[in-house]
Structure 1
């Protein structure tokens, strides 16, 4: 289950707006492409991606905005549903997530989640209590900080790279790209070391939500490609009853980081004693 969580988190990290990037020679064509008008995220937007793990593992990930309302702090917010599975139409999905996320103007703030539901192939969706949600978000943030510190420490110990071995970002001109979802307008961006392409991405203002059309990692033959997208998304998660028990802090703490799915403790039960 942890692998699916990492896929979802990784995809959200791609949601940062390219328009916020500092203009350099390698990003100028990207900024010019997006300056022609990026579709603001709105209720009904959805996109499905196909992930290929080197020809052995193929699965799909779907993201959709299915509603709008104010969150507990009075901020404008949207309901975002995510599904992961082995079928493009998400028949019998392996995971479902629904979360209420604040937004600022046109940007969805994935660091401002105020409500969370999680369901699996054999478990009904459950809402996290406020305490459990806060715990999970803190744990994920801490893991990200720990990873960053570890990477920084390893980089500091490593000998400096020769000038011709330093990574270089380069971008191409706006072009027409054929994808599983049809032909779209996109800009190619590459991360190159010497003459080797480490990662190749195609960004497109036509793709809702993430503006990501395609990603390739040639060295390990991994790829992600938009399979479908549209503007008519409807809620698909079967919501629990309003009075259904929520996932409590003790349960979330016991099973994190695999995102708890299962029967929660009854609200009347006393917290478990720690050894």
Structure 2
């Protein structure tokens, strides 16, 4: 169960007291029914950035096939918009991602389609996709080798603590779910609070809150019956060229101004 291992690693990486094990309740919770991602799994989250800044994000596994290197792979669709049913989404993405056992390898993308606003979806050319992947790998390697940031100075003896509670019933937009709360606390102030649930497919994430800035993300809907929703262009349709590869990705933020995007087809000057 790779998802469980990833979640546990993230939790254990947070600052905590030596005598605490915030992952124990989480591991016990997940062991009672969490499963790897499967064809048809989907989940929609509601983002609240404070005030009227509310967006929705949907992740779904909509197909299976071999990629060009002969590896098992899945088609993953992502959508972002202001409506929970993704009516007139601000952006759509569909990618063929390699799969190793239970793990979806988001660093091993072999095909990519992107649509923004009113622009029809287009596929990245092999050269454009290769550039994007290489750039992401270079940035990841740079981050890995970068010197650690100097931590903010805190009063002597004051350290952030990660703590978890026992499994509880959490009320969400998607209904009441069994979940384990995990908090990062500084003195008596909660910096971040999240709830992880074995019932939520793909990410096992039910809710996150950052009280200090009023931001929250909560599961709105989920299921196991996802179907492809992006309209795939014809095989002979123009593809995104190398020189526009980065520009398209810059147009993906969820705001109305990004809906116009760039003209990125091979017919562009």
Same-fold call, TM cutoff 0.5: yes
Give the structure 1 partner of residue 117 of structure 2.
121
Deviation at residue 166 of structure 1 after TM alignment: 2.2
Residue 53 (1) aligns with residue 59 (2): no
Q: How many residues align?
A: 250
Give the structure 2 partner of residue 28 of structure 1.
24
Give the structure 2 partner of residue 173 of structure 1.
166
Deviation at residue 69 of structure 1 after TM alignment: 0.4
Give the structure 2 partner of residue 12 of structure 1.
none
Instruction: Give a deviation string over 1:46-98, Cα, whole Å, max 9, x none.
Output: 10000000123001000111010011111111000010000000000000000
Give the structure 2 partner of residue 109 of structure 1.
105
Call closer, same or farther: CA 1:226–1:106 in 2, change over 3 Å: same
Q: Secondary structure at the match of 1:36?
A: coil
Among candidates 88, 92, 100, match of residue 92 of structure 1: 88
Q: Secondary structure at the match of 2:33?
A: coil
Contact 2:241 2:264 in 1 (8 A): no
Give the structure 1 partner of residue 4 of structure 2.
18
Deviation at residue 265 of structure 1 after TM alignment: 2.2
Which 4+ residue blocks in structure 1 deviate beyond 6 angstroms? none
Give the structure 1 partner of residue 177 of structure 2.
184
Residue 66 (1) aligns with residue 62 (2): yes
Query: What TM-score does the superposition give when structure 1 sets the normalisation length?
Result: 0.83
Q: Secondary structure at the match of 2:112?
A: strand
Query: What TM-score does the superposition give when structure 2 sets the normalisation length?
Result: 0.85
Q: Secondary structure at the match of 2:264?
A: coil
Give the structure 2 partner of residue 225 of structure 1.
218
134-143 vs 75-84, which moves further = 134-143
- Give unmatched runs, 5+ long, in structure 2: 13-19, 253-260
Give the structure 1 partner of residue 74 of structure 2.
78
- Separation in 2, partners of 1:164, 1:106: 42
Equivalences for 1:117-266 in 2 at 5 Å? 117-146=113-142, 152=147, 154-155=149-150, 161-162=154-155, 164-253=157-246, 257-258=250-251, 262-266=263-267
Call closer, same or farther: CA 1:86–1:139 in 2, change over 3 Å: same
The two structures, once aligned, show a CA RMSD in angstroms of 2.3
Deviation at residue 153 of structure 1 after TM alignment: 5.0
21-30 vs 202-211, which moves further = 21-30
Instruction: Give a deviation string over 1:185-205, Cα, whole Å, max 9, x none.
Output: 100011112221111000001
- Separation in 1, partners of 2:164, 2:243: 48
54-63 vs 132-141, which moves further = 132-141
Instruction: Give a deviation string over 1:197-230, Cα, whole Å, max 9, x none.
Output: 1110000010001100000000000000000001
Deviation at residue 159 of structure 1 after TM alignment: 6.9
